[in-house]
Structure 1
Amino acid sequence: MIFEHHPSPSRRGIRSAFLIVLALGAVLAATAMVGVFGEQLSAAWPQGTPPQGAPGQGSPGSAGSDGGRTTGDATVFDDEVAAVANLDPELRDALQRAATDAAGEDLVFLVNSGWRSAEYQDELLRDAVVEYGSEAEAARWVATADTSPHVQGDAVDLGPFDATYWLSQHGAAYGLCQIYANESWHFELRPEAVEDGCPDLYADPTEDPRMQR
């Protein structure tokens, strides 16, 4: 006869109790860790204030902290973006009114560039000199920080093409005009255009008297 060994009921009870104690200890330790982590997270991330780079966050810092750089997906309604927020209020209002009407034709006005800091404008000019090979050629595309209407918040470069084409046809009704023949994306506010139409285009910025300062 083979005798099978079965733990006595008392020994099984002791083992079960021991396992329960271990499980409870693990739960309590995990709870304590979560509590500590939660306190650290609350201190680093106040309620309602996501950290830099968190999904859904607007442009970081105050308007102007990025110099007016854009990512190409901002619209004329994105007032939290420095390139839009620092535009002249009358220009921004005209753009938003025009964009609202154009939305009926499924058009969206994207801001490729709007307001720029003087430092950012200087950077663009240096890059243009390298790209075009001379200051004279670069001046056909990029103004100095002292003369650029972008630095004053008085100009905006828009996209895509279908939106700029629509605005070239209808912009005068809002006082929005193209200024340079070589920059179909560049618009400025000319309030008199509502009655008189937009002025004749300059071939490029070098013909603009404002650039001669």
Structure 2
Amino acid sequence: MTRAVRHMPTEDDGAVPDGATVFDDQYPGVANLDGELLKALREAAIDAAEDGVEFYVNSGWRSPEYQQELRLDGVAKYGSEEEAARWVATPETSPHVRGQAIDIGRSDARAWLSENGARYGLCQIYSNEPWHYELRPDGCPPMYPDPSHDPRMQQ
């Protein structure tokens, strides 16, 4: 199932180039993150650097248009809205659109955050998305199997 791209996401929509880090404020995908989330990420990144680990950003803040493109891509890839919901939120429900989520690149950074992120309030939210982190300063809740089980994703 293929479709024509309706909107090619740009950096202004939150697309980040390869190699972008949590310190790269020139990219809206980083700069438009929630301030407390960004502060926690940067504190964790400084400490992770002492272990030789760098936090690269695969995705952070996204415009609603960018999120909609990702959702449409998910439906095309997985064959239905129901299956796409296991991986991609709608623009109305996505924490990325609100600047409250980040997808961290590279396995060493994800492993470091898995082990140490809770000290900074950085929590993996979904079992099927080891790259997706959100700020939960009061402690990390049990993970949902995937976004379709998260009550925040229900419209």
Q: TM-score, normalised by structure 1?
A: 0.67
Residue by residue over 1:120-142, the C-alpha shift from the partner in whole angstroms, topping out at 9 and shown as x without a partner, is 00011001111111111011000
Give runs of aligned pairs for residues 34-53 of structure 1, distance below 5 A: none
Does 1:181 pair with 2:88?
no
**Separation in structure 2 between the aligned mates of residue 112 and residue 75 of structure 1, nearest angstrom:** 9
Pair member with larger Rg? 1
RMSD: 1.0
1:206 maps onto 2:148 in alignment: yes
If the length of structure 2 is used for normalisation, what is the TM-score?
0.92
Gaps of 5+ in 2: 1-9
Q: 1:179: Cα distance to partner?
A: 0.0
Bigger relative CO (Cα 8 Å, ≥ 6 apart):
2
Structure 2 residue 84 is matched with structure 1 residue 142: no
Between the aligned residues of both structures, percent identity stands at 62
Equivalent residue for 2:101?
Answer: 155
Q: Distance in 1 between matches of 2:118 and 2:103?
A: 16
**In the alignment, which of 53, 60, 84 is matched to residue 107 of structure 1?**
53
Displaced runs of 4 or more, over 3 A: none
Question: How many Å apart are 1:163 and its aligned residue?
Answer: 0.5
Give the corresponding residue for 2:70. 124
Q: Is the 8 A contact 2:33 2:61 kept in 1?
A: yes
Counterparts of 1:66-85 in structure 2, within 5 Å, are 66-85=12-31
How many angstroms apart in 2 are the aligned matches of 1:71 and 1:137?
28
Question: d(CA) in 2 for partners of 1:72 and 1:146?
Answer: 27
Distance 1:121 1:200 in 2: 25
The one-letter code matched in structure 2 to 1:84 is V
Q: Is the 8 A contact 2:11 2:29 kept in 1?
A: no
Q: Higher helix share goes to which structure?
A: 1
What count of residue pairs does the alignment treat as equivalent?
Answer: 146
Cα deviation digits, residues 111-158 of structure 1 (max 9, x gap):
000000000000110011111111110110000000000000000000
